Structure 1
Amino acid sequence: MTAATRPTAPTAPTAPAAPRSTADALAAARRGPRRRRAVVVGVLLVLLVALVLVRALLGDYRVSFVDAVRIIGGAEIPVASFILMESTLPRAVMAVLCGAAFGAAGGAFQVMLRNPLASPDILGLTLGASAAAVVSVVALGLRGTPVTVAALGGSVLVALVILSQAGGGGSATGRMVLVGVALAAGLSAVVHWMLVRSSIYQAQEALVWLSGSLNSVTWTDIGRLLVLDALLLPVLLALSGRLPVLVLGDDLAAALGVRVPALRIGVTLLVVALVAAATAVVGPIAFVGFLSGPIARRLVPGRPSVGIAALVGAVVVVGADHLSAYAVPDTALPVGLVTGLLGAPVLLWMLRTRSTPEGR
């Protein structure tokens, strides 16, 4: 028998591949969104650090990175020390803190109320601070810390009215939106009325504050807002993981173990504290809270994105502050004017290119 005709030994049958368990399939399905979230967070952090360095070191007077490290470490370099520690670096740090506060607050409100318009700008929280500050400046002649306290009280008062009118049941979120929009309209009228009856100097001072400005921030203001952000943002991030359950309705969410009224009140109080603290220092910076949530959901769709919204808000404010300082020669624009000019076309573009309903 030749080798060509020699019969071959039968091969052992291969064992069928073990079927993938449901847990393996779920783990594989989650791996992709987690990887994307990690990439987005990393890119935003790198972009934020780069913008902070640009804002702090580059400008009319440039400071080298080596000199900046020496100055922060305690060295005294004529002119450079003053520019860095009293002007550019405080503005950059405050832009990060207030941008993160506005972004996280807007993202949390939009998820909780299931409405892309439910940002602190639209629901009257920032207008409450603005109205109280303008009244204190124009009618009472206050300056400095009392204006900050009045702005804080205005936001808290608006939040209390919204919560008191929300009620319970499945229509609570809808009522909160309607009450907030109504309050915003009334408070806007109060602001304009106070500006009409004010002197030209009072109106100019109030308009600078109403536009949102980082011109007069101090390290004391930064320390206060840093403490509040460090305390409140982690709690808001922890609570935001439960917010998507509210999409199922209050009754079903309660059946799943979620204390709906307590969750809604807790998130609202955290949002008010963040917005009021930031607004009281830098004024109502337009569109940051409004746009941060939708941009974050575009970057990481399908999941609560309050943390990413905070990073987006910080990036937006730092970049806008640099543009406001150097976009127009010999003119320093309020940062809120730049965010408003940039925010409107971005919002229109997002609405035009949106393929699925918001929040889905």
Structure 2
Amino acid sequence: MGLALLAALVVTAGASLTTGDFELSVGEAFQALIGNGSGSADFIVNTLRLPRLLTAMAVGAALAVSGAILQSLSRNPLGSPDIIGFTNGSATGALTVIVVLHGGMAQIAAGALIGGLATAVVVYLLAFTRGSQGFRLVVIGIGVSAILLAVNSYLITRASLQDALEAQTWLIGSLNSRTWDQATMMGVALAVLLPIAFRFGRRLSLLEMGDDTARALGVDAARTRLVLLAVSVGLAAAATAATGPIWFVALAAPQLARRLARSSGPGLLPAALMGAVLLAVSDFAVQRVFSPALLPVGTATGTVGGLYLIGLLVAEARKSRA
């Protein structure tokens, strides 16, 4: 399954780099990548298309791993950063920087991280005061998310027209005009957080069996959960800072990866590959299908993800009646 996802990622990357208003052959794109392309091909590939593609892949992978961790910790398929509220918390921090402080990219990233971590602390304290309560985590997270959504709306109403337009555009979630700044930031975030996620991720299957079982097998359940929760929030916050909130990738990618791999475990690496493929394909679709309109990728993931969420809720309802 991993090889199939890698192949899909390579095909999507090739199509993204070679098609568009200025079409290139595979050879021309490859020559541009290694620094031997013509001036126009080098600009199209290395300045316009490649940073956007790498940002899409990195953000998709980050959101998918974040969602896989939360779904495993909560033992609930609805446990993802956009449902639980971490994404809205990151958006609140970033909007505060945009609307109140008028900060740049670095400040927005810091605000998103602080907002996501603060939201995680609140949700964690409310949900885990008496041990592991996965269902409580989801319910409390949904409530906190609703409150933060109201705060975000309030911030936009208090902003100037220009700041409000910028904030509203950012809230949709978009890869338009993304540069090497965002790609580099996401690369650093993945380089720091993914090794921690993979190291502690081996214990997720044990945590899914319950804290008592995990402790009996030598796992410090509380410490492991806290570290993984911090990693999940960090990945979601970095992705939100880079592109704005992109909904439902974190919800759908881990579940799709599990089904394709036919695995009962969390499977962080397949989830990362699935997230990268989903977001890269979604961005390619909005660029090519709706061209010349510059639609944000959040419109595609929101539409598809909404349908997926409806199907997931129907399936869960059928299981509960069975």
Amino acid of the residue matched to residue 98 of structure 2? V
> How far apart in 1 are the matches of 2:134 and 2:313?
22
Amino acid of the residue matched to residue 232 of structure 1? L
> How far apart in 2 are the matches of 1:146 and 1:180?
26
Alignment of 1:11-30 (within 5 A): none
Q: Which residue matches 2:277?
A: 315
Shift of 1:224: 2.8
Q: Report the RMSD for the aligned CA atoms in angstroms.
A: 2.1
- Which of 93, 96, 112 is the matching residue for 2:54? 93
2:298 aligned with 1:336: yes
Q: Which residue matches 1:159?
A: 120
Count of aligned pairs between the two proteins: 319
Q: Which residue matches 1:136?
A: 97
Alignment of 1:1-360 (within 5 A): 40-301=1-262, 302-352=264-314
Taking a change above 3 Å as real, the CA distance of residues 171 and 73 of structure 1, as seen in their structure-2 partners, is: closer
> How far apart in 2 are the matches of 1:159 and 1:249?
21
CA distances 1:14-63 after superposition (whole Å, capped 9, x unpaired):
xxxxxxxxxxxxxxxxxxxxxxxxxx111111001110111121111112
Taking a change above 3 Å as real, the CA distance of residues 351 and 178 of structure 1, as seen in their structure-2 partners, is: closer
Shift of 1:274: 1.1
Amino acid of the residue matched to residue 310 of structure 1? A
> How far apart in 2 are the matches of 1:48 and 1:209?
26
Taking a change above 3 Å as real, the CA distance of residues 349 and 179 of structure 1, as seen in their structure-2 partners, is: closer
Q: Report if aligned partners of 1:112, 1:244 keep a CA contact under 8 Å in 2.
A: no
Gaps of 5+ in 1: 1-39
Taking a change above 3 Å as real, the CA distance of residues 102 and 291 of structure 1, as seen in their structure-2 partners, is: same
Amino acid of the residue matched to residue 312 of structure 1? M
What's the secondary structure of 2:205's corresponding residue? helix
Amino acid of the residue matched to residue 45 of structure 1? L
Shift of 1:85: 1.0
> How far apart in 1 are the matches of 2:34 and 2:104?
34
Q: Determine which structure has more spread, i.e. the larger CA radius of gyration.
A: 1
Shift of 1:352: 4.5
Taking a change above 3 Å as real, the CA distance of residues 46 and 99 of structure 1, as seen in their structure-2 partners, is: same
Worse overlay, 242-251 or 82-91: 242-251
Shift of 1:338: 0.9
> How far apart in 1 are the matches of 2:24 and 2:266?
39
Identity %: 36
Q: Once superposed, which parts of structure 1, at least 4 consecutive aligned residues long, lie more than 6 Å away? A: none
Worse overlay, 94-103 or 158-167: 158-167
CA distances 1:66-118 after superposition (whole Å, capped 9, x unpaired):
11222222235132211111111111111111100001110111011101111
Q: Report if aligned partners of 2:58, 2:186 keep a CA contact under 8 Å in 1.
A: yes
Answer 1 or 2: which has greater helix percent.
Answer: 2
Taking a change above 3 Å as real, the CA distance of residues 199 and 227 of structure 1, as seen in their structure-2 partners, is: closer
> How far apart in 2 are the matches of 1:306 and 1:356?
27
Shift of 1:243: 1.4
Q: Which residue matches 1:36?
A: none
What's the secondary structure of 1:186's corresponding residue? helix
Amino acid of the residue matched to residue 254 of structure 1? R
Taking a change above 3 Å as real, the CA distance of residues 201 and 303 of structure 1, as seen in their structure-2 partners, is: same
CA distances 1:206-237 after superposition (whole Å, capped 9, x unpaired):
11211111123222332232132123223212
Shift of 1:241: 2.2
Amino acid of the residue matched to residue 326 of structure 1? R
Worse overlay, 321-330 or 280-289: 321-330
What's the secondary structure of 1:333's corresponding residue? coil
What's the secondary structure of 1:138's corresponding residue? helix
Q: What is the TM-score with the length of structure 1 in the denominator?
A: 0.82
Q: Report if aligned partners of 1:63, 1:84 keep a CA contact under 8 Å in 2.
A: no
> How far apart in 2 are the matches of 1:209 and 1:157?
21
Amino acid of the residue matched to residue 191 of structure 1? N
> How far apart in 2 are the matches of 1:171 and 1:274?
22
Q: What is the TM-score with the length of structure 2 in the denominator?
A: 0.92
What's the secondary structure of 1:139's corresponding residue? helix
What's the secondary structure of 2:83's corresponding residue? coil
Amino acid of the residue matched to residue 320 of structure 1? S
> How far apart in 2 are the matches of 1:64 and 1:329?
20
